[in-house]
Amino acid sequence: MASTSGPEIERLIQLLARLPGLGPRSARRAALHLIKKREQLLGPLADAIRVANERVVVCSTCGNVDTSDPCTLCRDTRRDDAVLVLVEDVADLWALERAQVINGRYHVLGGTLSALDGVGPKDLNLDRLVARVAEGGVQEVILALNATVDGQTTAHYVTDLLSHLPVKVSRLAHGVPVGGELDYLDEGTLAAAFRQRTAL
Amino acid sequence: MASTSGPEIERLIQLLARLPGLGPRSARRAALHLIKKREQLLGPLADAIRVANERVVVCSTCGNVDTSDPCTLCRDTRRDDAVLVLVEDVADLWALERAQVINGRYHVLGGTLSALDGVGPKDLNLDRLVARVAEGGVQEVILALNATVDGQTTAHYVTDLLSHLPVKVSRLAHGVPVGGELDYLDEGTLAAAFRQRTAL
């Protein structure tokens, strides 16, 4: 490929191929698309990436990414300080915000405990979580962690960590996804859905 | 979303979502991945896109994209000037180069004739093709166009266009793809494969 179109285009393809969702082939298509749409897309994207590179910071309060610290969510005075939603990743925070299900504050752990991947408590944003809860004002910490083994291990660890503080700790319900068909669900989900059935 | 993470990140997501192969959701994942891997990915990608934006040009001879004009392929003295491969798009040129099936020169049409999309002969890189062939030296023009209706219409048009010039015009063979199963092929492909069967 280097001999086809020069090292500059090859470099662009290689970097695009490292984005999640793009492989070598689709990165090539994306690079070509960028080059063809230079005015509408390549130039604006160059600016957007430069601005992001210069200005994006990690919020020192909650761990969200934004162009200001504290981030937009932490500065928003209309949010309920009493509710703190613990998420694994910024992507989860964004997903919850899109769903508009909760109007509290967030705290991004930056991962889950994982013996396999060698992630211990020191690698996560846990000290800051305990400090935020200890400061007072938070009445409930909602553990919005993934329903995976690592996510649940982390949930137990965080529950222990917060047990000496005067705060209620809860986790998201397990059950049948809305629109889901029973036939396609695993036994664990079905068992949880039965255990936690609600009266009508 | 604008209230979650600032307009700068939102702008980056919107631009990434316009790349082929990325939708709104995967663009968000890609943006977050870029921000997390700032040193390894965001900075280098910013540079690569800026360089591409500043330096990439369309080759005035063949229509390839490169950082020099004439492009690397047109300047390569080890290539066979007698063979000119006509392709629809730069992506096709790249695909043929990856397969390393032909060591000739290329000519990128920039599309195919299409009554539906309103693409006529004037919209394609045809004048330059005729000029290149008329200059002499080219003995065979291989029409490596897609086996679509528009591709075949274009192939016929180009064949007519070159008929007064002393050049052989050929097109790629139709048949069973290597590794393909007959059961999954359409009637048109099967019929072509039978018509153009080769003696063993």
Residues B69, B167, single domain; the answer is yes
Residues A38, A72, single domain; the answer is no
Q: What is the DSSP letter of B105?
A: E
- Interatomic CA distance for residues A115 and A120, integer angstroms: 7
Residues A77, A151, single domain; the answer is yes
**A78 lies in a domain?**
yes
Residues B49, B69, single domain; the answer is no
What is the value of ipTM here, to two decimals? Answer: 0.75
Residues A14, A97, single domain; the answer is no
Residues B164, B90, single domain; the answer is yes
A159-193, pLDDT tens digit by residue?
999 999 999 999 988 888 888 888 888 888 888 88
- Which of B14, B16, B73 is the best residue to mutate to test the A interface, defined by the most A CB atoms within 10 Å of its own CB? B16
Residues B27, B106, single domain; the answer is no
| Overall domain count for chain B | 2
**B184 lies in a domain?**
no
- The distance of B186 to chain A (nearest Cα, Å) reads 26
**A77 lies in a domain?**
yes
Residues A130, A81, single domain; the answer is yes
Query: How sure is the predictor about B3, in pLDDT bands with cuts at 50, 70 and 90?
Result: low
Strand-pair category, B57-58 with B65-66: antiparallel
- Interatomic CA distance for residues B74 and B63, integer angstroms: 10
**A197 lies in a domain?**
no
**A161 lies in a domain?**
yes
Interior angle at CA A191, CA A190 and CA A195, nearest 5: 120
Residues B76, B28, single domain; the answer is no
Residues B45, B86, single domain; the answer is no
Place of tokens 């359409």: B186
Report the pLDDT value the prediction gives residue B18, as an integer from 0 to 100.
Answer: 93
- Interatomic CA distance for residues A145 and A92, integer angstroms: 9
For residue A91, what is the domain's CATH number? 3.40.1360.10
Structural domain of A88: 65-171
A1-59, pLDDT tens digit by residue?
445 667 888 899 999 999 998 988 899 999 999 998 888 999 999 999 998 989 999 99
Residues A115, A50, single domain; the answer is no
Contact assignment for B4 to A64 by CB distance below 8 Å: yes
Contacts of B66 in chain A (CB under 8 A): 5-6, 9
For residue B13, what is the domain's CATH number? 1.10.8.420
- Is the preceding peptide bond at A70 cis, omega within 30 degrees of 0? yes
**A163 lies in a domain?**
yes
Report the pLDDT value the prediction gives residue B180, as an integer from 0 to 100.
Answer: 83
Q: What is the pTM of this model?
A: 0.75
What are the structure tokens assigned to B171, written together?
């097109």
- The distance of A182 to chain B (nearest Cα, Å) reads 27
Residues B114, B164, single domain; the answer is yes
Burial of A155 (0-12, 13-18, 19+ CB in 10 A): buried
